Amino acid sequence: MPRKNHKQLQTEFTLTAQDCIQGMRNIPTESVDLVVTSPPYNIGVRYNSYEDCKNPDDYLHWTLAWATEIKRVLKPNGSFFLNVGATPSNPVFPHELIVELSKLFVLQNTFHWIKSISVETAKGDMLSAGHFKPINSRRFVNNCHEFVFHLTKNGTTPLDRLRLGVPYADKSNVKRWAHTKGQDVRCRGNVWFIPYKTIRNRKMQRPHPATFPTQLAVNCIKIHGYTFEIVMLDPFLGMGHAALAAKQCGIRKFIGFDIDPRYVELARMNIGPSRFDSSCTLASKRKP
C-alpha cells in the first residue's frame, strides 16, 4: 500500500448495531466516497437474527429504500460496489435487482467475482483453484461466481485501473502500445478470481453464513482509486470484511452498520486494536 507513515495514520471506525436506513440518515449528504456492500439476498440464509425471507415485492421496495440513502450520502464522483449472487432457484435475482437500482444509479461496470475456476494450460494440464459450495443436482451446475456491480451517480466516475493492474503476458506489448508509457502493467479487466481462504473450522474461523473475502473489498478500493482522505461505508457490515479492507488500505474513516449486535461485535474483534470513534457503540446496548 502506498501510504507513507502507515503506522501513524489509522483508520477511524464507526461501527453500529442498527438498521442501516436509520443509521445512514445520520450521515451528512455527499460525504461518502466509497460504498462496498453485500445485502441479504432474500434466499432464506440462516443469519443469527435477521430473517432472510421477505415477500419479493417488499424486498425490492426495501432495496430501493436503503439504496436511496446510499445515493444521498455518496459524493458526486463516488462509487457504490454492490456484491450480489444468484441461486439456481432464482437465477434472475441479480438482474432484477440491478434493473430496480437503475432507477437511482448508472451501472458503470460489472465485475465478475470468480470463486473457483478450472483452466486448461497450453500443455493440456488442468489447473483447478478456489472453493465453491457443491450442489447435488441433475439440473444445475455448481455456482462458482457472483456479481460486483459498480454503480455511480452519472456513469462518469474516474477509476484507477492500473492500481489493480496486471503485468503483460506478452512483454512485446509494453513497447508496442504507446499508452503503456513503458510500464509493464495493463488493466486487469472485469474478472476477479478471489478464492475464499481455506478454513478448517467454520464456526471458529468464519462464524457468519454469507461473507465476501476481504480481498473483494480491497479490489473495489483500489479500482476506485484512493488516498488516505477517503470515507468508506458498508451498510450491511456482517463480520466486517469491508472494514478489514479499509484498515488494510489505510482508509481514513470507515462507517459500518449491521442490524445484529453479535455481528458488529465480531467485526470489532476481527479488526483488532484500532482507533474507534468514541460515539461508536452498539445502539441496542446504549444507555438511555
Ligand X SMILES: C[S@@+](CC[C@H](N)C(=O)[O-])C[C@H]1O[C@@H](n2cnc3c(N)ncnc32)[C@H](O)[C@@H]1O
Q: Which residues are CB-contacts of 228 (< 8 A; sequence separation ≥ 6)? A: 3, 9, 250, 251, 252
For residue 250, the minimal CB distance to ligand X (Å) is 20
Smaller CB separation from ligand X, 231 or 266: 266
Half-sphere exposure of 32 (CA within 13 A, CB side): 28
Question: If binding is defined by CB under 6 A, does position 80 make contact with ligand X?
Answer: no
Half-sphere exposure of 61 (CA within 13 A, CB side): 5
What angle (nearest 5°) sits at the alpha carbon of residue 196, between those of residues 231 and 119?
Answer: 120
User: Measured between alpha carbons, how far is 82 from 271 in angstroms, rounded to an integer?
Assistant: 22
| Number of chain positions touching ligand X (CB under 6 A) | 21
Smaller CB separation from ligand X, 39 or 250: 39
- Position among 12, 19, 100, 277 found at the interface with ligand X (CB under 6 A): 19
- Position among 50, 168, 193, 228 found at the interface with ligand X (CB under 6 A): 50
Question: If binding is defined by CB under 6 A, does position 93 make contact with ligand X?
Answer: no
Grid cell listed for 285: 446496548
Q: Look at the alpha carbons of 117, 217, 81, 256 in this order and tell me if their dihedral is positive or negative.
A: positive
Question: If binding is defined by CB under 6 A, does position 38 make contact with ligand X?
Answer: yes
For residue 271, the minimal CB distance to ligand X (Å) is 12
User: Measured between alpha carbons, how far is 243 from 264 in angstroms, rounded to an integer?
Assistant: 11
Question: If binding is defined by CB under 6 A, does position 211 make contact with ligand X?
Answer: yes
Window of 70-78, 112-120, 170-178, 251-259 that interacts with ligand X by CB under 6 A: 251-259
Question: If binding is defined by CB under 6 A, does position 219 make contact with ligand X?
Answer: no
With left for phi above 0 and alpha for psi between -120 and 50, is residue 24 left, alpha or beta? Answer: alpha
Question: If binding is defined by CB under 6 A, does position 236 make contact with ligand X?
Answer: yes
Smaller CB separation from ligand X, 19 or 277: 19
Residues that bind ligand X (CB under 6 A): 19-20, 38-40, 47, 50, 208, 210-212, 235-236, 238-239, 241, 257-260, 263
